[in-house]
Amino acid sequence: MSTGPQRAASTTQRESQGAWALLDEQVLAMVMAHAPLPEILKTLCTTIETHYAGLLCSVLLLDVDGQTLRHGASPTLPREYSQAIDGAKVGPSSGSCGTAAYRRQPVIVSDIATDPLWADYRDIALPHGLRACWSMPIASQGGAILGTFAIYYREVRTPDAEHLQLIAHATHLAGIAIERDRAQAELRAAENRYRTLVERLPAITYIAEIGVHGHWRYVSPQIESILGYSPAQWLSDPANWINHIHAQDRETALAAEKRFHETRELFQAEYRMVARGGRILWFRDEGVLLPSSEAQELLMQGVLYDITEHKRLEDQLRHSQKMEAVGLLAGGVAHDFNNLLMLVQGHNERLRARLAPGDPAHKEAVGIEHAVSRAAGLTRRLLAFSRKQVLQPKVLDLNEVLTEVGKMLDHLIGKDITLQVTPSPSLWPIKADPGQLEQVILNLAVNARDAMPLGGQLIIETRNAEISKARSPLDDDALAGKYVILIVRDTGVGMDAETQAHIFEPFFTTKEPGKGTGLGLSIVYGVVKQTGGWTRVESNPGRGTTFEIYLPRAEEPPAAAKSKPAGKSLQSMPKGTETILLVEDEEGIRSLTSEFLCAQGYTVLDAMNGEKALRIADGHEDLIHLLVTDMVMPKLGGIELAHRLRKVRPQMKVLFMSGYPEHPALSSEGAGQPETILQKPFSLDTLAHKVRSVLDQA
Task: Give the model's pLDDT for residue 480.
Answer: 79
Domain end position, chosen among 161, 186, 211: 186
Identity (one letter) of the amino acid at 529?
Answer: K
Burial of 37 from C-beta contacts in 10 A (0-12 / 13-18 / 19+): buried
Residues 584 and 543 in one domain: no
- What pairing do the DSSP bridges indicate for beta strands 55-62 and 68-73? antiparallel
Does one domain contain both 286 and 208? yes
Structurally, the chain folds into a number of domains equal to: 5
> Does residue 361 belong to any structural domain of this protein?
yes
Lowest-pLDDT range, 161-175, 490-504, 681-695? 490-504
- Three-state SS string over 236-259 comes to CCCCHHHHHECHHHHHHHHHHHHH
C-alpha torsion sign, points 547, 553, 557, 558: negative
Q: Are residues 624 and 686 in the same domain?
A: yes
d(CA 642, CA 656): 9
In this structure, are residues 454 and 544 in contact, taking their beta carbons and an 8 Å threshold? no
pLDDT of residue 671: 44
- Quick check: is 564 in a domain? no
| Residue 75 confidence class, pLDDT cut points 50, 70, 90 | very high
- 194 in a structural domain: no
Of 383 and 485, the one with more pLDDT = 485
Nearest to 660 by CA among 631, 682, 687, 636: 631
Q: What is the pLDDT of residue 1?
A: 44
What ranges make up the beta strands (E) of 256-398?
Answer: 267-274, 280-289, 299-306, 394-396
Residues 20, 167 within the same domain: yes
Residues 48 and 61 in one domain: yes
Note whether residue 562 is domain-resident. no
Query: Identity (one letter) of the amino acid at 6?
Result: Q
* Residue 19: pLDDT band with limits 50, 70, 90: low
Cβ–Cβ under 8 Å, residues 641 and 627 = yes
Among 468-482, 568-582, 638-652, which stretch is predicted with the lowest mean pLDDT? 468-482
Q: Is residue 458 part of a domain?
A: yes
Same domain, 139 and 270: no
For residue 390, is pLDDT > 90?
no
Q: How many angstroms separate the first and last alpha carbons of the chain? A: 133
Sign of torsion over alpha carbons 255, 256, 258, 259: positive
More confident residue, 366 or 256: 256
The model's pLDDT over 2-12, given as tens digits with 9 standing for 90+, comes to 454 444 444 45
CATH number, domain with residue 73: 3.30.450.40
> Which positions ≥6 away from 290 have C-beta within 8 Å?
207, 298, 299, 300, 301
By mean pLDDT, which of 312-326, 428-442, 534-548 is the weakest? 312-326
Are residue 542 and residue 662 in the same domain, yes or no? Answer: no
Q: What would the pLDDT profile of 243-252 be if each residue is shown by its tens digit?
A: 999 999 999 9
Q: How far apart are CA 191 and CA 553, in angstroms?
A: 54
CATH code at position 342? 1.10.287.130
Is residue 675 a part of any domain in this protein? yes
Distance CA 668, CA 643 (A): 10
- What residue type is assigned to position 408 of the chain? M
Which residues are CB-neighbours of 242 under 8 A, at least 6 positions away?
A: 212, 213, 250, 253, 254
CATH number at 533 reads 3.30.565.10
20 and 160 part of one domain? yes
User: Facing residues of 61 across strands?
Assistant: 70, 147
Inside any domain, residue 145 = yes
Q: Residue 9: what pLDDT?
A: 44
**Structural domain range at position 205:** 201-306
- d(Cα 343, Cα 349) in Å, to the nearest integer? 10
Q: Which residues contact 417 (CB under 8 A, 6 or more apart)?
A: 448, 449, 452, 455, 456, 457, 458
Is the domain of 216 the same as that of 255? yes
The single-letter DSSP state of residue 675 is G
The rounded mean pLDDT for the chain is 82
Domain boundary among 331, 358, 385: 385
Q: Angle 422-424-426 (CA atoms, 0-180°, nearest 5)?
A: 155
Regarding whether 501 and 354 lie in a shared domain, the answer is no
Pair 121, 37 in one domain? yes
**Pick from 554, 518, 558: which is nearest to 533 by CA?**
554
Dihedral, CA of residue 104, residue 106, residue 108 and residue 113, to nearest 10 = 30
Residue 677 falls inside a structural domain: yes
* Whole-number pLDDT of residue 76: 93
**The sheet that has 579-583: what strands, in order across it?**
603-607, 579-583, 626-630, 653-658, 677-679
pLDDT at 129 over 90: yes
pLDDT, tens digit, 9 for 90 and up, residues 494-539:
988 777 776 776 555 666 554 554 456 767 777 788 788 888 899 8
Task: Count Cβ atoms below 10 Å from residue 58 Cβ, excluding itself.
Answer: 25
Asked if 137 and 21 sit in the same domain, the reply is yes
* Arithmetic mean of pLDDT, 451-456: 89
Q: What is the CA radius of gyration of the chain?
A: 43
Distance CA 343, CA 352 (A): 14
Q: What is the average per-residue pLDDT within 128-157? A: 93
| Average pLDDT over every residue of 108-121 | 94
